[in-house]
Amino acid sequence: MFTVTFPDGTRKQCPAGTDLLEIAKQGGNPGPTERILAAKVDGGLVDLSARVDSDCQLQWLTFADPEGKTIYWHSTAHIMAQAVKQLFPEAKLGIGPAIENGFYYDFDLGGGFSPQDLEKIGQKVHQIIQENLPFDRQVVSKAKAQEVFSQRGEDYKLKLLREIDSDQVSLYQQGEFIDLCRGPHLPSTGYVKTFKLLGTSGAYWRGSERNPMLQRIYGISFPQQDQLKQYLHRLEEAQKRDHRRLGQLLDLFSVHDQIGSGLILWHPKGAAIRNTIETFWREEHQKRGYQLVYTPHIANEKIYQVSGHLENYSELMYSPMEIDGVPYRVKPMNCPGHILIYKSRQRSYRDLPLRYAELGTVYRYEKSGVLHGMLRVRGFTQDDSHIFCTEEQLSGEIVGVLELVEFMMKAFGYSYRAYLSTRPEKSIGSEQDWEKSTSALQGVLEQRGIEYEIDPGEGVFYGPKIDIQLEDTLGRGWQGPTIQVDFNLPERFEVAYIGEDGKEHPVVMIHRTVLGAMERFVGGLIEHYAGAFPVWLAPVQVVVIPVSDRQMEYARKIAGSLSADLIKVEVEQRNEKIGRKIRDAEMQKIPYMLIVGEKEVESQTVAVRKRSKGHLGNLKLEQFRSTILEETRTRTIE
């Protein structure tokens, strides 16, 4: 007999060799047995077919758990791949992971999938689900797996096997279908209750344009039909808010092959939004004692040898360029430059903390297959800041950063979730320094009563961090602020201060962003507001619309008066009917329309229309000016 202990502390004795599904049937589970998808045994993910023969900690996983969703979607990806192979035997299997929402699978087919193909694949998926085929896990030698996939002509699986160091691998089989996979998976295909194939796209193998183009099918699945309906509704809303579509419609930004993939051209209206955000950012940082700095876009490669970037970050850095026989790199980070500014003269404990801030443009290599509008780019401007302080000042500085985060995220209308990311496998520095920095971050989160989750192994190579995930109006998460504590770079660069004792002491360094990448932040805002920005952020706050050309002079006079107060205003000058002008302004999501006809000219007023609220009445220009200036000053969010 052995004892399993559940998360609530309850225990259950079972005969040695009992599989988990049998234990689930015997009770001690969170509801009907079919809700349980897999389990954690002593923290490791396992199938329900796994047998247990010693005392252990046992946690059931359902679709409500993040790991449960991943297993559910990954299993559905295998079912979809089986369906494709039955319909298209010549298709070669790529990879088929679960993703943030659903799953995909890549196939080398020599051509794309048509809508009719997707319909047939969906019907076949439904059939495989009805057959309720068990997912059978097999642990075999690497040589045996190579034999299996060689016989099946699965070239991409053979490539994956060559990347695996272990002598043993696991395969999963349902029916005639076999895949290379770590698992775990659902007990059987019948556990999938409802699904939807969402579409197709081209995708390079391993995300590199140097590799073959594969055909990717995306899908989603759920245990309940109403969950699928809700998801499809959210998906429809998300498509309406897609920043790429709105960016073109509202003339905010573009990407051109002539410039390069992943490089953003900001159009005047997009630049107006960015300028408003940057002005707000600068003002709030200066209020909090930050000093603005600028650093070059390129640097001698040696600086990145010292920092450790070449050793730990080289796959995201661009190849060197030679200048006067010396290798230079476009910068992936701003921190080395800020360190050298600090080191430009001797610093005393009286100088600390020193807070440097820069809207610094950096360049990082991203595979073409993952580039996505403004959200995943190769060149971006980061609102980067580095704080140099003593160990005693560390907690107070972290508090100050979190207060700034809370203030700015409220201004943009975001709620957020916090994560504490710990030491990754590829990292530098002593265990003692990692422990100190992790404890400092955790202590401040708990001191301020901020709920957080541990994100194991997701720290940066030089230190742990607090990651803030922003939540938009559809409940989606966006990467946002980050706070990183670093004992390592100060040691590598010998960054110190003179203490009260007259001796040198090592500095503690905080790396932090509040907005993150400006491109990603603005792209997220476009989707958060569906392009209908609040007045203070809108690229055009007011459009003055004359009823006819006879009121054009008055319209221009109004626009000039508002522009003098830095209100962003345009005049509608086209020779169109008034109804068309109003509809077009609404399509452009401009917050205010000022309609001026003969009546308004005579009374020296404006007829005010507000986006989504309609006609607000006639006002004197000064009344309207006061209203919009107050909305801008207070950063009112509609």
Catalytic residues: 335, 364, 382, 384, 386, 465, 511
What is the spatial distance between Cα 105 and Cα 187, in angstroms, rounded to a whole number?
20
What is the spatial distance between Cα 295 and Cα 342, in angstroms, rounded to a whole number?
12
Q: Is-contact 353 342, C-beta < 8 A?
A: no
What is the spatial distance between Cα 19 and Cα 3, in angstroms, rounded to a whole number?
13
In terms of Cα–Cα distance, which of 592, 596, 590, 603 is closest to 628?
Answer: 592
Strand pairing of 614-620 and 415-421? unpaired
In sequence order, what are the beta bridge partners of 614?
A: 610
Task: Compute CA distances 638 → 272, 521, 523, 577, whole Å.
Answer: 20, 19, 19, 29
Q: Is-contact 248 503, C-beta < 8 A?
A: no
Structure-block tokens of residue 161: 């096997």
Q: What phi and psi, each to the nearest 5 degrees, are found at residue 358?
A: -150, 135
Reported as type and span, the H/E element at residue 394 is helix 394-412
What is the spatial distance between Cα 535 and Cα 546, in angstroms, rounded to a whole number?
21
In terms of Cα–Cα distance, which of 270, 524, 215, 261 is closest to 371?
Answer: 261
In sequence order, what are the beta bridge partners of 52?
A: 18
3-state secondary structure labels for all residues of 498-511:
ECCCCCEEECEEEE
In terms of Cα–Cα distance, which of 75, 195, 87 is closest to 135?
Answer: 75
Q: Is-contact 145 167, C-beta < 8 A?
A: no
> Is residue 455 classed exposed, middle or buried when 0-12, 13-18 and 19+ CB atoms within 10 A define those classes?
middle
What is the spatial distance between Cα 636 and Cα 535, in angstroms, rounded to a whole number?
7
Do you know the residue count of the chain?
638
Q: Identify the sign of the CA torsion 297, 298, 299, 305.
A: positive
Q: Is-contact 84 117, C-beta < 8 A?
A: no
Structure-block tokens of residue 136: 């059978």
DSSP assignment of 250-284, as one string?
A: TT-EE--TTT-TT-PEEPHHHHHHHHHHHHHHHHH
What is the spatial distance between Cα 268 and Cα 314, in angstroms, rounded to a whole number?
35
Local structure of 185: helix, strand or coil: coil
What is the spatial distance between Cα 455 and Cα 463, in angstroms, rounded to a whole number?
13
